[in-house]
Structure 1
Amino acid sequence: MKVLIIYTYPNHTSLNYAFLQNVIKGSKENSNIEELQVLDLYEEGFNPLLVFNEQRRRRDMHTDPSIEKYRKQIMWADKLVFIYPIWWGRPPAMLMGYIDQLFAANFAYKDKEGLFPEGLLTGKSVVCVSTMKGPTHYPLFWLNNAHKILMKRALFNFVGIKKVKFFEFGNMESPKGNQMKKLEKIYNYFKKIDQ
């Protein structure tokens, strides 16, 4: 299995970075994972802004040479792992800009007759590891599960990825947030994952 980690947090002394390190550590100890790549969007200097004009049209994003290496990473990977905070009930703008550009028509999906397109990223799976200041069940009870619906239904299922696993960790700024237990949970998950 080939794993691509997309890490979206600007601080390398943060809890999110500790989750990244535990994903990497668990993955390296897992004999089912043959290769691992990490894309740190902030360190990479990824530009999340969508720019369209007469020379750069939205319908041509699937061939944009400036993001070709990122398309190749997605095609290479069997499993995509996203690590990010939940801000205002959704992923950060940096990650959404990556999604807007990379999950484009004729790369991630293809329009066809009927209500839904044909997903072109079938066979891949996704794990989302996200952190929040608020309580763990805040997105479920207060926001009608908006984060999971956005990521699973509106994005991943739309492009053909049906296997999506979520780790939503709340109370992460609290001394009672069980941070070490949650870090261990992520390490153990990636150490044993087989598909």
Structure 2
Amino acid sequence: MSDQSTAHPRHVVVLAHPNPNSFNASVVRTYCETVRACGQEAIVRDLYAIGFDPALKADERPHAQAIALSPDVEAELAAIAEADIYTLVYPIWFAMPPAMLTGYIDRVLGAGITVNEIQDRAGESVLSGRHMLSITSSGTREVWLDEQGQVESLRNLIGKYLLHAFGMKSCEHLHLGGVVEGLDKGFVDQSLYEVHERARKVCAMLAAERHAASASLSVSDRS
């Protein structure tokens, strides 16, 4: 494991959209360009491009006995290890995230965690002690989604359940509504600027964390 107090902060960016030319893909590019410009590391996991299988296998289900992780899950866990933040980028379809993303959470982000461990907050996963940012898009505006209770539902799932179930440090949500075909360039530019600014904010937070950790380590070494 690398020295987290000195290595560059690492962002794992998970894209769950089947179109490589989608608005969501543009969000990922903008986010990663900003992260790298800030001197931090960005690793992209385009779930459709890598052919990720979202279907949970019977022997991967969390239970009291030993859990057998499939080779593709083990490979994915190795690829995204030691992240400081997991940024999920996905559209809202029929009031839900794509099945590809929920399968990724089932098989990878929550791999090996039993129900009892979730209830007791005793499980260890790749999310434990990390941050999460969820960037979502929808064809309808956020105010309409809010009227349907969808915004609150998403925040409860990502901002509360996953935060507490996996012992994360923080969980934030950025939603971009009104994303339809034939978008005006000004709208796209403004939306991507919001992504850029949020990425800068996240990078500043992670840099401050690393600085504080390094300072604490120096004090400990001198004591």
TM over 0.5, shorter chain: yes
Residues 123 and 104 (structure 1 numbering): CA distance in 2 closer, same or farther, change over 3 Å? closer
* 2:96 counterpart (85, 90, 97): 90
- Following TM superposition, by how much is the alpha carbon of 1:29 offset from its aligned partner in structure 2, in angstroms? 0.5
Aligned pairs, how many? 188
- Following TM superposition, by how much is the alpha carbon of 1:22 offset from its aligned partner in structure 2, in angstroms? 0.3
* 1:58 counterpart (54, 58, 61): 61
Residues 4 and 99 (structure 1 numbering): CA distance in 2 closer, same or farther, change over 3 Å? same
For the 8 Å contact 1:62–1:102, the answer to whether it is kept is no
Report the AA paired with residue 27 of structure 2: F
What are structure 2's unaligned runs of at least 5 residues? 1-8, 207-223
RMSD of aligned C-alpha atoms? 2.4
Q: Is it true that 1:111 corresponds to 2:116 in the alignment?
A: yes
The structure showing larger relative contact order (alpha-carbon pairs under 8 Å, at least 6 residues apart) is 1
Which protein is richer in helix relative to its size?
A: 2
Q: Deviations over 1:35-94 (max 9, x none)?
A: 221100000000111221xxx352354633331022223432111011110111121000
- Following TM superposition, by how much is the alpha carbon of 1:172 offset from its aligned partner in structure 2, in angstroms? 1.2
Q: Is it true that 1:179 corresponds to 2:188 in the alignment?
A: yes
Distance (whole Å) between structure 2 residues aligned to residue 87 and residue 159 of structure 1: 25
Distance (whole Å) between structure 2 residues aligned to residue 70 and residue 103 of structure 1: 10
For the 8 Å contact 2:136–2:175, the answer to whether it is kept is yes
Report the AA paired with residue 118 of structure 1: A
Distance (whole Å) between structure 1 residues aligned to residue 180 and residue 162 of structure 2: 28
Partner of 1:122: 128
Q: Is it true that 1:43 corresponds to 2:46 in the alignment?
A: no
Larger radius of gyration: 2
Distance (whole Å) between structure 2 residues aligned to residue 134 and residue 179 of structure 1: 15
Distance (whole Å) between structure 2 residues aligned to residue 40 and residue 17 of structure 1: 9
Distance (whole Å) between structure 2 residues aligned to residue 140 and residue 62 of structure 1: 40
Which protein is richer in strand relative to its size?
A: 1
- Following TM superposition, by how much is the alpha carbon of 1:110 offset from its aligned partner in structure 2, in angstroms? 7.4
What are structure 1's unaligned runs of at least 5 residues? none
Partner of 2:146: 140
Partner of 1:30: 38
For the 8 Å contact 1:140–1:146, the answer to whether it is kept is no
Structure 1 length normalisation: TM-score?
Answer: 0.84
Distance (whole Å) between structure 2 residues aligned to residue 122 and residue 26 of structure 1: 25
For the 8 Å contact 1:8–1:83, the answer to whether it is kept is yes
Report the AA paired with residue 150 of structure 1: L
3-state SS of paired residue (1:36): strand
Percent of residue pairs identical: 23
